[in-house]
């Protein structure tokens, strides 16, 4: 059994109804936590088959999910699913994921193959980032950074095989609670954006963090920080916090982990 958590901000009921219905189709899902960071409480969400929790203020993405994760840990459930409201999938994939996780107890975090609604793949398996990968490349022409980004996103691996990856997207994080007990939950110093990098990295130290292409989801992804100045500023501020924590130029662990990731298919 597992719990799932969805964090929303100024979403309408219609925007998340399909996802809720999908999760409810699976007998493996014990509870769905809907954590609302919106300014105003919406009583319509209380009509859904979820545990609806409204915060008095926007406490951030990771901090909101932590509310639900702590409940999952207290209930002694094996798994917790962190999922974005803009995800769609077939409920049957949950049993396949749990079977894989049960068979591979060293896997602490799993992400499936992710597609755009157009059926184009999203390249969400990444190396641990340097400041160039997350900050400086924004200000350069894409043609100048194309080769580096293809390496950073592990595109040469083809995305058709299971991979151990140190940075997996936060849009769908299938987490083993044993791993969370050992390394901790989301770092609540990050309001938004690098919390998935940070958590995957910490889990990767002690467990496997796996890309699992045997199942897939669709992510209706909007890159808000590229479209909205306010979101860009929030993104930049939190990325600075990430590198202050882990190191800017001198990050020996990043170098070792990234090289190991690139070497895993050389034989």
pLDDT digits (tens, 9 = 90+) for 42-53: 999 989 999 999
**Which pLDDT tens digit goes with each residue over 195-252?**
999 999 999 999 999 999 999 999 997 555 445 677 778 888 899 999 999 999 889 9
Name the H helices within 7-138. 13-25, 61-74, 93-103, 131-134
- State how far the Cα of 212 lies from the Cα of 215, in Å rounded to an integer: 7
What's phi and psi for 207, nearest 5 deg? Answer: -135, 175
221 burial type by CB count under 10 A (0-12 exposed, 13-18 middle, 19+ buried): middle
Helix or strand run (H / E) with residue 83: strand 79-83
pTM above 0.85, yes or no: yes
> What's the rounded mean pLDDT across residues 21-25?
97
pLDDT top residue among 135 and 252: 252
| Domain total of the chain | 1
- Domain enclosing residue 7, as ranges: 2-263
DSSP, res 244: H
pLDDT tens digits, 68-102: 999 999 999 999 999 999 999 999 999 999 999 99
Residues paired with 168 in a beta bridge: 125
Task: Report the chain's mean pLDDT, rounded to a whole number.
Answer: 92
What CATH number is attached to the domain comprising 255?
3.90.550.60
Tell how far CA 90 is from the center of its chain.
18
């Amino acid at each position: 059994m597992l719990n799932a958590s969805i964090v929303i901000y100024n979403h309408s009921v219609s925007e998340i109804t399909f996802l809720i219905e999908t999760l409810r189709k699976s007998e493996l899902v014990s509870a769905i936590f809907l954590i609302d960071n919106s300014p105003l409480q919406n009583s319509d969400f209380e009509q859904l088959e979820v545990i609806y929790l409204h915060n008095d203020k926007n406490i951030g993405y990771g901090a909101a999910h932590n509310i639900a994760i702590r409940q999952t840990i207290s209930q002694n459930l094996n798994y917790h699913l962190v999922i974005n409201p803009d995800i769609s999938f077939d409920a049957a994939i949950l049993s396949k994921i749990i079977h894989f996780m049960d068979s591979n107890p060293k896997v602490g975090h799993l992400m499936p193959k992710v597609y755009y609604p157009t059926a184009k793949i999203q390249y969400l398996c990444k190396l641990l980032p340097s400041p160039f990968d997350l900050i400086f490349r924004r200000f350069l022409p894409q043609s100048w950074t194309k080769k580096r980004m293809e390496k950073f996103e592990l595109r040469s691996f083809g995305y058709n095989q299971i991979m151990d990856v140190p940075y997996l997207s936060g849009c769908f994080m299938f987490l083993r609670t044993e791993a969370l007990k050992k390394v901790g939950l989301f770092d609540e110093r990050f309001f938004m954006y690098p919390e998935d990098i940070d958590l995957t990295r910490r889990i990767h130290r002690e467990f496997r963090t796996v890309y699992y292409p045997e199942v897939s989801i669709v992510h209706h992804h909007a890159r808000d920080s590229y479209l909205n100045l306010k979101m860009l500023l929030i993104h930049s501020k939190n990325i600075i916090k990430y590198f202050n924590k882990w190191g800017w130029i001198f990050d020996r662990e990043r170098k070792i982990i990234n090289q190991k990731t690139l070497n895993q298919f050389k034989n």
